[in-house]
Amino acid sequence: MSVLTVAGLTLREAVRRRVVWALALLTLALLTLSGWGFSRLAGLDTEFGDLTSGQARLVASQLLNLVVFGLSLIAALGTAFLAGPTLAGEVESGMALSVLARPVRRSAVLLGKWLGLVAVGSGYVAVAGLAQFLVVRWAVGYWPPQPVAGLALLAGQTVVLLTLALLLSSVISSMASGVVAVGLFGATWVAGVVGSVGEVLGNEGVARVGTVSRMLLPTDGLWRGAMHAFQDPTPLGIDVAGSPFLSEAPLTVTYLLWAAVWVAMVWGLTALTFARRDV
């Protein structure tokens, strides 16, 4: 059994799971609500007068990050709870024996499952993200300056989280691995917000919380890079440094390399753990 065969089987199994259809419904609801909200921006009556179409596009560029964060949260939930049953669920149910009993290395099986999940997560990010951009374009005529780069970073965030979920599922139950992975995702985002507040206040100790959390789990760092790619470069008089949905600067090449190394290290640890696990 080849790696690509396992990847194809994992992809088909993931699509058949009910969690995928639940996530699709959540995404459709989010797109519908965001479309209605963005359509109300043009001509919106404020204390400063009606918003012009140009001002509406500027505001839309900031709100887009808020909505895309919702999509990234849906992707996080989906990948975490799909990755958990991929290892732990099959081991607990005994299904893993039918595959591992054949002359195939466990690392090849793990790689195939990982590639299948990467295809699911990246595909979701690409389709849902593009749909959201089209909704915003239709509503207020705004298109993000770097859509491909931003979606690539969101896909990278998904890959980081599903790799972590696979590692957790190799040592604990499928449900627990999903809960822990999503919890760490949320905790890292909160730590990033705390670090941003520390930067605004000039408190190096608090600011270091965000820096350390982004190194330990790169999901928040990749998310901040995606925000910078989606937001309009025209300033709105908003304190970017203190906002949880705005980003001051693009990611450095060094950080992107670290994220890739992080995924490789965690995948290697997962392979080592899975190879030693009794099935």
3 vs 7, 70, 96, CA distance in Å?
6, 33, 15
Mean pLDDT, each 10-residue run in order, the chain (279 residues): 74 75 88 85 51 64 86 86 69 51 70 89 92 89 90 95 90 83 91 84 84 92 91 61 71 95 95 76
Do 171 and 158 form a contact (C-beta atoms < 8 A)?
no
Domain range summary for the chain, segments of one domain joined by +: 3-275
**Residue in 132, 158, 156, 133 with CA at minimum distance from that of residue 145:** 133
Token reading at 95: 């299904």
Token reading at 238: 């908003």
Instruction: Give the amino acid at 175.
Output: M
pLDDT score of 18: 75
From its phi and psi, is residue 141 left (phi > 0), alpha (psi between -120 and 50) or beta?
Answer: left
pLDDT score of 48: 38
Full DSSP string of 31-72: HHHHHHHHHTTTT-EETTEEPPHHHHHHHHHHHHHHHHHHHH
**Residue in 92, 80, 82 with CA at minimum distance from that of residue 14:** 82
- How far apart CA 26 and CA 226 sit, in angstroms, is 21
**Residue in 160, 150, 142 with CA at minimum distance from that of residue 125:** 150
β-bridge mates for residue 49, sequence order: 46
Instruction: Give the amino acid at 234.
Output: T
pLDDT score of 220: 92
**Residue in 89, 83, 78 with CA at minimum distance from that of residue 22:** 78
- How far apart CA 243 and CA 112 sit, in angstroms, is 39
pLDDT score of 90: 57
